[in-house]
Structure 1
Amino acid sequence: MKKIIPAIIISLLATACSDPSTADNNSKTASDQTGNSATKLSLKQQVESITRDYFLLRPEIATYYGVSDASINAKVMSKLTDYSPSGETHRRKGLKAILSQLNSIDTSSLSDSEKISLSAIKSEVKGALLPAQTVNYGTVLGEYGVWFLPYSVNHLSGLQIEFPGYMEDKFAVTNTDEANAYLNRLSMYPAAMGTLVDKLNHDADIGVIPPDFVIDNTLRGLQAQISSPANMHPLVTSFGAKLNTAKVAGSDALISSAAELVETKYYAATRQLINALEAVRPKATHEAGIGRLPQGAKLYQTLIQHLGNSTKTADDIHQLGLAEVARITLEMDGLLKEVGYVDGTVGERMQVLLNDPQYLYPNTPEGKQQLMADIDADLALVDAKLPDWFGRLPDQDVAIEAVPDSRAASTSGAFYDAPSQDGSRKGTFWISLYDTASLPSYSLQTLTYHETNPGHHLQTIIGLSDELPLLSTVFYSNAAGEGWALYAERLAAEMGIYANDPIDNIGRLQSELHRAVRLVVDTGMHAKGWSREKAIDYAVATEGIHQSEATAEIERYTVWPGQALGYKLGELKIIELREKAKQVLGDKFDIKVFHDRLLENGALPLDLMEQKINQWLETAA
């Protein structure tokens, strides 16, 4: 899960620096250029200034994609996002200006692939704007530079989570200039944190405060960030490792500077946020859903569109979830009986499996090492079968890494990171080993296939194109990306991976059940007034998962409303399109061709995905 953004590696041409406030001029320039019949600009060329404007709104995301200042001719490496109320207003206006510029692009000279890409970008930008046009609180372009967040600070999102993540894992340090840029970013942290505290207080003043348990989780994470001596903090030790790898001159002095900045800047700024959260904590309620917030019901409906690519009502999705839960539970019941688990509900029988020592990895270095080795073996097993199911195969291996201990407790399970824009960083499957009890062996195989092949990594690499703009990647469809990865879990079963392994197949079905439960509990909390506890109890009883896992999941849905709906909504759409293709093509249906057509343009919004497949079927029938 999490950073499942399909990457498109590009080489942006250098152009003059601009600000979103100059959007009207940029729009006019784009129109003038495309209106000249002698000038045939590619989509990538036409969105260069728009791409730069986006990264000026969200500088940290440039680091995520490995985009340098030189490649976009703008100083983003020396900036951090302005989270203040005025900065939020500027960002919303900037995003609206980006949509205006996208709408001004002349499509007459674009290829079919470019037209699809442009439509996808515009669709996702519109979706990102919907919540911001509904409420005056929260953060637009929040998590991963795309999602709207109702709470600017929470235990999974915000500057305090984003900053150490990209600085430690993604900020390249290969020479003295980059080392100094890293130190400069550290020195700017207090100013950026000041803007975040301003936003937290602004939203609190209008009654938008995270639930009490979210604030408590966030405070625990912040205390952990400042618990070690500064010179032992990952912001320092990871910096030192990069310096040593690159053999940068004067590394000792640079490391000392980093430790001093962590102590005097980073720790001080973290304490400022701790104080601000402690000040608003007495005003927090225990209500989990956003329905209690101003215009909360309307906001949730926009988030269903934004993150689920759906116009279904919350009630429709709730009922769909209940139906899917019943269907999957029935299938699991049959398999459990086949292997001797006959007593109790499916959830109760899965609890028996969960507590069986033979399926648990010891929460020790040796147990974690075995878990990582099993991931490697499972990946090799599925990779051997890919040629029978895909015409195009990934030409880049996926890296498998454990989340650093300093962030493991606050990381949601596992996630995929796209490769960097310059190719220096592989696509990476990150897995939190904080509590191995939440990773029983019968669930690990399916998790691996979701995040790597044939899931997120394969989808990412197949969608790579030097011809399309980076914005095609930035504004990805959550429902298409997560829907494909859930479909990939089912596909692994079709490949025969579980043919002789009923226990792991039960784990696969439990994973699918988990996504159906999300439809029920996400809508339950945000549209039907369910409490955190009711949602946790439902997840534990229905899925048979660990209490701690259910708690972490439910608290995730609390702060990312609508995001968890994308998995099932996307998967069901892909299955629907596949069945239609089989009916239309009959004997001519080729699963490899279907998958290639589905993936070749990246994670398209679901309506555009359907439109594209329908057009293909018209010509292929």
Structure 2
Amino acid sequence: MKKLFHVLIISLLATACSDSTTADNNSNAASSQTDSSATKLSLKQQVKSITKDYFLLRPEIATYYGVSDASIDANVMSKLTDYSPRGETHRRQGLKAILGQLNDIDAASLSSSDKISLNAITSEVKGALLPTQIVNYGNVLGEYGVWFLPYAVNHLSGLQIEFPGYMEDKFAVTNTAEANAYLTRLNIYPAAMGTLVDKLNHDVAMGVIPPDFVIDNTLRGLRSQISGPAKMHPLVTSFNAKLNAAKMADSAALVSSAAELVDTKYYAATRQLIMALEAVRPKATHDAGIGRLPQGAKLYKALIQHLGNSNRTADDIHQLGLTEVARISTEMDGLLKEVGYVDGTVGERMQVLLNDPQYLYPNTPEGKQQLMADIDADLALVNAKLPDWFGLLPNQDVAIAAVPASRAASTSGAFYDAPSQDGSRKGTFWISLYDTASLPSYSLQTLTYHETNPGHHLQTIIGLSDELPLMSTVFYSNAAGEGWALYAERLAAEMGIYANDPIDNIGRLQSELHRAVRLVVDTGMHAKGWSREQAIDYAIATEGIHLSEATGEIERYAVWPGQALGYKLGELKILELRKKAKQVLGDKFDIKVFHDRLLENGALPLDLMEQKINQWLASETAA
């Protein structure tokens, strides 16, 4: 079979708009039905058309969650997001329409669990729309298909980042139709890139230009994507591996087509973005925060609500961060003295620890292999203790994988990816092994528990219950999700894992200190005018982390304003609710029940999480 990529391709913009318009018409028709039987449907059934509408707005997120075209009755597998100004307007209107459909659902007909889920989805959709009520620039439904991004292009987010990641790691190729869809996406990549360049230039004309260091990082990553021959690019080699695994006929012709497309389409589109950014670069400043952008202060306030589930002011959060930094530093000071680190500030002593060879993995294949083996051992240790702390347990193991070398340099630390809906792809803990010096052994255990069990993986799998709508997982609360993962780090200590390991416990506290520092530097840059360098220096001096780690973190907060606030804000709310539950229930308090009640409806927005726990406590005391 030859030239499989020469399929009928409708214009990307026309396709995106026509599909979404059809979805809107279908949804309006469905909502006009008065059949009383609709009131008997579960929430999962009632949001089915809404789920379809969402994935038509953000096709790549269907790939992320392993959602097939057939399961949502839509053609999204061979589509890409329209990033143009017109496409952004359409997406904002589409999200407003989704909110309207959610508001039209008759909550009175739902079970109590479904009511909680409906309120959570609705709350998060409202949060995602908040920034759009303030500014015309940026991208709604950006990173992970949920977060608002002030810059259409940056070194961590955008088409040029998500396309290779989703295609290489998550795009299933098990039959001819899926292989053709893969090639179709490669073929339309230049059209999608054209929409992104249009959006970049539109926002630049409004005075919205990424900081110079963000543009430099983005250019560095783009150039690395096209540095080798097309036939050796991961978009081709990963496609070949999938074809071989599926034992596909004509795989050689398919791989040849992919290589030709990468060479003539993907590389050309990447060069187009490089040229656009090079043209913008002379206009960029070194200012890190969004306070300099049009309506920047109001936008940051909205992002605190959107990503932190909080109405606190930036000044209040900044002070909270300073208070938490002082508290955690005092605890670390005591432990450091116990193990013989006496002189200097906590940050200075952690710098000494950071450079101690006994805690460093060599940046060699052998060192990286040992690091991965240690992750496996740490995970096995905590898994054995989970039944004593949870009634609901994950029914899927977590996969552990190194970020592919082609993307490792531009990947921030480690992250977790949810499993596919059909179970064919496991939930995965990805870790970048680009620089093992930034991963000292005393930090690795806590990182593992944050991303796997009892952190993100456990929470995600419980939230992926067959009874909950997929939208509950897509529109998760950043503050609840990251707050839980930070709480999970503390929980590991309460399980006794660090009882005889003070060095790793110091690493755990340093990880918590890191999240407190985020409150200080995120608000510092975006509300108080801190420079990139000021934030980096504060992080290094306070935490004692590696320069490369501090730099990567600060540059992350510059392009994802507000996101890093969710960790501490969420963790503190969970601890507050647990303390209240212990006080109310006394001897009846069961940590397993508390955790199950907290997790069973997914990552609820913090106000709804509190409301749910209060209702549970009221029912328990009334019984």
TM-score by length of 1: 0.96
TM-fit CA distance, 1:29: 2.7
| Structure-1 residue corresponding to 2:295 | 295
Distance 1:37 1:185 in 2: 40
AA aligned to 1:420 is: S
Distance 1:24 1:108 in 2: 26
TM-fit CA distance, 1:36: 1.6
Instruction: Indicate how the Cα distance of structure 1 residues 200 and 385 shifts in structure 2: closer, same or farther if over 3 A, else same.
Output: same
Q: For the Cα contact (< 8 Å) 1:23–1:98, is it kept in 2?
A: no
Range moving further from structure 2, 392-401 or 331-340: 392-401
| Structure-2 residue corresponding to 1:462 | 462
AA aligned to 1:30 is: S
Range moving further from structure 2, 175-184 or 277-286: 175-184
| Structure-1 residue corresponding to 2:313 | 313
Encode CA deviations 1:288-320: one digit per residue, 9 max, x unaligned. 000000000000000000000000000000000
Encode CA deviations 1:129-169: one digit per residue, 9 max, x unaligned. 00011100000000010000000000000000000000000
* Counterparts of residues 61-72 of structure 1 (less than 5 Å): 61-72=61-72
Q: For the Cα contact (< 8 Å) 2:39–2:109, is it kept in 1?
A: no
Encode CA deviations 1:357-386: one digit per residue, 9 max, x unaligned. 000000000000000000000000011111
AA aligned to 2:610 is: E
Q: For the Cα contact (< 8 Å) 1:18–1:52, is it kept in 2?
A: no
Does residue 1:162 correspond to 2:185, yes or no?
no
| Structure-2 residue corresponding to 1:244 | 244
AA aligned to 2:138 is: G
| Structure-2 residue corresponding to 1:19 | 20
Q: For the Cα contact (< 8 Å) 1:459–1:602, is it kept in 2?
A: yes
Q: State the SS of the aligned residue for 1:19.
A: helix
Q: Report the aligned-residue RMSD.
A: 1.2
Encode CA deviations 1:11-63: one digit per residue, 9 max, x unaligned. xxxxxx96357647624633534x62675111111111111111110000011
Instruction: Indicate how the Cα distance of structure 1 residues 544 and 618 shifts in structure 2: closer, same or farther if over 3 A, else same.
Output: same
| Structure-2 residue corresponding to 1:582 | 582
Distance 1:596 1:27 in 2: 37
| Structure-1 residue corresponding to 2:499 | 499
Q: How many residues align?
A: 604
Distance 1:18 1:44 in 2: 22
Q: For the Cα contact (< 8 Å) 2:23–2:52, is it kept in 1?
A: no
| Structure-1 residue corresponding to 2:596 | 596
* Counterparts of residues 333-482 of structure 1 (less than 5 Å): 333-482=333-482
| Structure-2 residue corresponding to 1:205 | 205
Q: For the Cα contact (< 8 Å) 1:20–1:94, is it kept in 2?
A: no
AA aligned to 1:393 is: L
Distance 2:434 2:64 in 1: 24
Q: For the Cα contact (< 8 Å) 1:416–1:427, is it kept in 2?
A: yes
Distance 1:27 1:119 in 2: 21
Q: For the Cα contact (< 8 Å) 1:85–1:199, is it kept in 2?
A: yes
| Structure-2 residue corresponding to 1:30 | 31
| Structure-2 residue corresponding to 1:5 | none
Encode CA deviations 1:228-283: one digit per residue, 9 max, x unaligned. 10000000000000011111011111111111100000000000000000000000
AA aligned to 1:200 is: L
AA aligned to 2:66 is: G
Distance 2:385 2:73 in 1: 44
AA aligned to 2:513 is: L
Q: For the Cα contact (< 8 Å) 1:308–1:563, is it kept in 2?
A: yes
Distance 2:407 2:593 in 1: 41
Distance 1:261 1:37 in 2: 50
Distance 2:346 2:29 in 1: 61
Q: For the Cα contact (< 8 Å) 2:317–2:519, is it kept in 1?
A: yes
Percentage of matched positions with identical amino acids: 87
AA aligned to 1:284 is: A
Encode CA deviations 1:598-619: one digit per residue, 9 max, x unaligned. 0000100000000000000001
Distance 1:27 1:416 in 2: 36
Q: For the Cα contact (< 8 Å) 2:47–2:469, is it kept in 1?
A: yes
Distance 1:197 1:411 in 2: 22
Distance 1:267 1:279 in 2: 18
Q: State the SS of the aligned residue for 2:60.
A: helix
Q: State the SS of the aligned residue for 2:416.
A: strand
Q: For the Cα contact (< 8 Å) 2:429–2:452, is it kept in 1?
A: yes
Q: For the Cα contact (< 8 Å) 1:31–1:105, is it kept in 2?
A: no
Q: For the Cα contact (< 8 Å) 1:127–1:305, is it kept in 2?
A: yes
TM-fit CA distance, 1:87: 0.4
| Structure-1 residue corresponding to 2:117 | 117
AA aligned to 2:72 is: I
| Structure-1 residue corresponding to 2:219 | 219
| Structure-2 residue corresponding to 1:4 | none
TM-fit CA distance, 1:395: 1.4
Q: State the SS of the aligned residue for 2:291.
A: helix
Does residue 1:532 correspond to 2:524, yes or no?
no
TM-fit CA distance, 1:83: 0.2
Q: State the SS of the aligned residue for 2:148.
A: coil
Instruction: Indicate how the Cα distance of structure 1 residues 248 and 177 shifts in structure 2: closer, same or farther if over 3 A, else same.
Output: same
AA aligned to 1:368 is: K
Encode CA deviations 1:521-552: one digit per residue, 9 max, x unaligned. 00000000000000000000000000010000
TM-score by length of 2: 0.96
| Structure-1 residue corresponding to 2:146 | 146
Contiguous gaps of at least 5 residues in structure 1: 1-16
Q: For the Cα contact (< 8 Å) 2:463–2:473, is it kept in 1?
A: no
Distance 1:376 1:533 in 2: 36
Q: State the SS of the aligned residue for 1:553.
A: helix
Distance 1:462 1:216 in 2: 40
Q: For the Cα contact (< 8 Å) 1:31–1:106, is it kept in 2?
A: no
Distance 1:29 1:380 in 2: 48
Distance 1:545 1:467 in 2: 43
Q: For the Cα contact (< 8 Å) 2:464–2:473, is it kept in 1?
A: no
Q: State the SS of the aligned residue for 2:207.
A: coil
Instruction: Indicate how the Cα distance of structure 1 residues 326 and 617 shifts in structure 2: closer, same or farther if over 3 A, else same.
Output: same
Distance 1:151 1:442 in 2: 35
Distance 2:446 2:317 in 1: 25
Does residue 1:173 correspond to 2:173, yes or no?
yes
Q: For the Cα contact (< 8 Å) 2:398–2:427, is it kept in 1?
A: yes
Contiguous gaps of at least 5 residues in structure 2: 1-17
Distance 1:135 1:273 in 2: 24
Encode CA deviations 1:326-357: one digit per residue, 9 max, x unaligned. 00000000000000000000000000000000
Distance 1:462 1:266 in 2: 38
Instruction: Indicate how the Cα distance of structure 1 residues 523 and 575 shifts in structure 2: closer, same or farther if over 3 A, else same.
Output: same
